[in-house]
Every structure is written in C-alpha cells, then in structure tokens.
Amino acid sequence: MTLLKHINSPADLKRLEPGRLDDLAQEIRDFLVTSVAKTGGHLGPNLGVVELTIALHRIFDSPRDTIVFDTGHQSYVHKLLTGRHDFSALKKKDGLSGYPSRAESEHDVVENSHASTSLSWAEGIAKARRLAGEDDRHTVAIIGDGALTGGMAWEALNNIAVDETLKLVIVVNDNTRSYAPTIGGMAQHLASMRATRRYEKMLDWGRGALNRTPVVGGPMYDTLHGVKKGLKDIVSPQGMFEDLGIKYLGPVDGHDEQALEDALTLARDFGGPVIVHTFTEKGRGYDPAALDEADQWHGVGKFNPETGLPFEVSGRIWTDEFNDEMVRLGAERPDIVAITAAMLIPVGLDGFAKAYPERVFDVGIAEQHAVTMASGLAYAGLHPVVAVYATFLNRAFDQLLMDCALHKQGVTFVLDRAGVTGSDGPSHNGMWDMTVASIVPGLRLAAPRDGEQVKQQLREAVAVDDAPTIIRFPKGDVADPIEAARRDGTVDVLVDCDDEPEVLVVGVGSMCSTAVDVAGKLAAQGHSTMVVDPRWVLPVSDDLLRLTRRAQHVVVIEDNLVVGGIGSSVTSAMREQRQEQPVHCFGIPKRFLDHASRGQVLEEIGLTADVVSTAMVQRLGPRD
C-alpha cells in the first residue's frame, strides 16, 4: 500500500489530491480481496461501495457529522478510512467486528446489523442536533435498495418527508441486491429511475462549472458555486418520492467519485432532507464476486484470491438437512409453500425453489409481512414454511403472536442460526427465540439434536394445522447422529440408567451432545445420571414431567437465554405439578455476546461439558 497506509482519518483523506483517488480506490479493493481471503467476511458489499465511502468521508466531517450504515455489511471501507487497517483477525475474538462497533471507533454509530433501521436512527439523531442548536452538523444514512423493502424504512420516510428543515441526507445505494436480487414494485421502480439517468445528463451539461468554465445562468453553475437559486431545478422530487415530497438527486454513478462528491455537496448544502440515489455494482473490481449471480460472495469463508475458490470445502451443514427434506415434502404435499425474507439460499430454500418455483415467495427484508402473509396463506388452505435466521424472528414477534397464534394458523417457522453463532457478533446470535416463543399460547417448538431429527421433526411440524410450530437449529456443520437408547412416550432417552436417577439431564437441541458428555463426567464421580432429549421442548410435555419425578435433581442445558428459556419452562411446569426437586439451568446469560468463534463464546459463558459437570459436582456434594 502506498496511499492507504497514510489514511488514518477522514482528515487525511480530504488532503489527498483528487487525481489520486482512483489509485486509492484500487488499493482498497486489492486490500479487501487479500485480507478477506485470509479471514472470510462480507466481501461483495464492500467492493461495491469503495468510491461512495471515499466521497462520503471527503464531503462530510465524521464524527462531527454522523454517518449511519444500514446493516454493517458494507462498513469495511469505512473502517479503513477511519484508521483501522489491521484486518488480520476480522470477526475473530479481539479482532475487528464485521459490523460498525462503538467500541472500535468514534466514527461508528449503529452496531445492529438488522436491516431497514438506518432512517429511523438518522431522523432521531438529526432532530436531536437541531434541538441542541447544532445547525452546522449533518446526518447521513446509507441504505440499500434491499433494505428499502423493509416496512420500517417507509415508516421513517413518512415522517422525514414532512420535516423540511431536517439536515438529513439519505443515500440510496442501489445495487439491485440484498443477499439476493431485490424484488417487488420498489425494485422495479428504481430500475426505471436508473434507466432515465436524468441527473447524470444534467451533470455532464454542467460539468464546465466544476472545471472553472462557467455556463452562465445554468442551474449547475449556480448551485455548485454555493448559490441555491437554481437548486430546485436539479434537486427535485422524482418517481416514488414525488408524493412524499422529499428532494431527490440521481441516479448518480456510484463508481464516479467526483460525481458522487458533487451530488453529496448539493445534498449537504440544501438545508433539508435530500435523497441521493446512487447505483453501484456489488463485487466491483473482483471478477468472481462481480459475476456472482447467487450472491455467494456476499459473505465468504477463506478463499484463494487468485482463483476465487474456497480453501476448505465445508461439510454437510444443518441447513442442508432442511433443504433436502423440504424438497421431499414438496413432492408429497402440494399444499406446502415457502416464504423467505430476501435470504433464499442462506436459509436453505433454494432446492425447494428450483423444484417448485411457483410455491416460493420472497417478500424482501420484511419479516413482519412474511408472518402475517403466511397466516393468510394458512387460512386459505395452504401450509406455509417461513424460513429465517433465529435472530430475525424477533422482528416479527407481534405478528407471530397476534396474527398467527391468536388465529390458530398452521404455519411452520424454521429458524436457522439458532443459539450461538459467534463471529457475526451480538446481533446475529439466535439466543432469544425460545424465550420469546415460550410466551406464545398454543405454539409448539422443536429443537432437533442432529440431521435426522431435523427431517423427522420438520415432518411432524407441517402436520400441525391448528397452531404455529417452530423448528430451530444452529449454524455450521451438522452434529454427529446420537442414537436414542429408547423412546419413552415422546421423549428420547439418550443415556439410561437402571435405577431411579440421581440426576436427569435434559439436553435441548444441539446441546444434547454436551448433555451426554456431562452425564459421563457425573457418572465418573459416582452420580447416577439419565440424559433425555424432549424433542418438542415447548410446551413442556407430560412425558418429560413424568421422567423428572424420578430424579433427585434436574439439569437443563440449552443454547438460549437462561432467563425465560426452556429451563424456566421446565421449572414452572414442575412446580405446577408440586414437584420440588432442584432444577439447575445452564444457558446463555442475559447480555450481548462479543464476536468470537462459537467454541470460544461457549467457553466464555461456561456452556461446556467441563464447566457444567464441575458446577454440578459441587452442587451435588460428595457421594456417601
């Protein structure tokens, strides 16, 4: 690096001669490809916003001006330009976060990587600045066309539109994709706006003003020299923003850094809300990513930067088990349909979509709509399967409760990335779903312990037509099969004992293997132990309660919040049955977990066989 190594702050960037910016952009792209190849990360989104991020930091004065990214997928360039050049431990323990992080820099504001929130954040910040009399501070929100499919973004726009003095610049980074191609009427309208290229033609006409060749009386001349006289001729409502009345600039070529600076300068100086519509190419500058139609370069593992091929071929993952079984179910039951919120491939619905394309509905980044739409589909006689990451179910809790459960609609929710996901940080850990689900009347939740159970319990779930069902499983390679010693009612007994057990260990889902290891360690200390997998953990079954009556102590191990989790539900159900045995709950503490590997996070929070068994030996005391 000859230029990037000297850029440690936006002030350094502003001092760089404009003629060197293309070289800097190339250096950044080379750095991103080389670095992410070693660590994995979100490569495609960041390659697409290099010039845009450079222009933002040259025109605005971060951190005095606040820059809010909608999701942090595209924040790597921002990190580089604000002095964070060590990507050697990206997304690893003690390394850089994969998203903006307040702990890393005063330039980072919103850490949450859930989409469609930036406009609400930005409106709140801009209003607070105005109330404080800080009229020289600006707020900028960068939101992708994919995130604009989320309803929350439009709730914010509805309010922003009527506040004519709000110093807020909204940059629509339009690359026609989120994880997958952006869908819906909004995407089609943006495409038509890109086709007009109205602003680009006007900018070409007025370029002489920038080159000190006056086009006397032209609106570009007036505006670019600080005179607002002609601004309304250039910054004017267009298309879908017209009825709202928000001023609009664009579309601007998102890889023309000078054009971006011109547009952002106009927007900054306008004195009210302005949308700058820029079109970019995801994966720009690296052919494997730029030519990727399946968005496999949105987030990647380690790869060879010369060939674009991964260094390690991953084994079979939990998602594959769901993917394959959905295809089989689709052949058997024409009433089964699937819904994805812009994540068809990551959640494993691509196989079903290929086999039954007319039975898959991609609603964009709109989980609330997905759940209520699914309720409508169920009412009309179909059985919808809504597949989302576990952490994103939080966004649609009201719809799960009031639209689906209240009306007893048969909808199956498949929650991928449940439990500790690790490297994607606090917003991506799926650690709330069982706590949230436990308060929904009538809901049934299964936590498969291995791939075979994913298939069996998915079939059991779609057979339920009078209530919502949930299947949840973790990220990564699927667990080795654990054969049950026997089935007792609806409960699988994984480790049996001849006598009444001193300890009954309840393993929840992927924690069943930990439960088996705990049993072995307790047995070595002389404590008779039985291990069971309830399979369906909500509601707590009578069969499980019958087994708890036989034990002196009950242990519940789950990769969910220990507060309000399955352990709490088991305890409550036992107390209702007048059972007073101690229940020892092991799960995730009520705090946000820093990014690290899944194993490191589990070790840190004490959710390992060694820690659990040691704690239990101390609680049980010595054997007589």
Annotated binding site for thiamine diphosphate: 73, 113-115, 146-147, 175, 286, 367
Q: Which of 79, 247, 268, 282 is catalytic?
A: 282
Active site residue 5: no
The SS3 call for residue 191 is: helix
CB 404 within 8 A of CB 468: yes
- DSSP 8-state assignment for residue 116: S
Beta-carbon contacts of 171 under 8 Å, excluding residues fewer than 6 positions away, are: 52, 56, 140, 141, 142, 143, 264, 275, 276, 278
Alpha-carbon distances of 434 from 441, 447, 458, 577, rounded to whole Å: 13, 10, 17, 22
CB 454 within 8 A of CB 416: no
CB 376 within 8 A of CB 402: no
Which residues make up each annotated binding site for Mg(2+)? 145, 175
Phi first, then psi: give them for residue 368, nearest 5 degrees. -60, -50
Active site residue 282: yes
| 458 HSE (CA, 13 A, CB side) | 28
CA distance 444 to 441: 9
Beta-carbon contacts of 535 under 8 Å, excluding residues fewer than 6 positions away, are: 446, 447, 448, 453, 457, 490, 491, 492
The SS3 call for residue 442 is: coil
Phi first, then psi: give them for residue 180, nearest 5 degrees. -135, 175
Alpha-carbon distances of 274 from 267, 452, 611, rounded to whole Å: 6, 53, 55
Q: Is 380 exposed, middle or buried (0-12, 13-18, 19+ CB in 10 A)?
A: exposed
**Element housing 242 (H / E):** none
CB 484 within 8 A of CB 535: no
Which one, of 267, 272, 261, lies nearest residue 249 by Cα?
267
Helix ranges restricted to H, 92-225: 118-131, 151-160, 185-196, 198-210, 219-224
CA distance 161 to 147: 18
Alpha-carbon distances of 496 from 264, 449, 535, rounded to whole Å: 68, 17, 16
Q: Which of 58, 268, 395, 455 is catalytic?
A: 395
Q: What is the CA radius of gyration of the chain?
A: 27
Active site residue 395: yes
- DSSP 8-state assignment for residue 181: B
- Angle, CA 15 vertex, CA 9 and CA 20 arms, to 5°: 105
Q: Which of 367, 460, 502, 558 is catalytic?
A: 367
Positions marked catalytic: 282, 367, 395
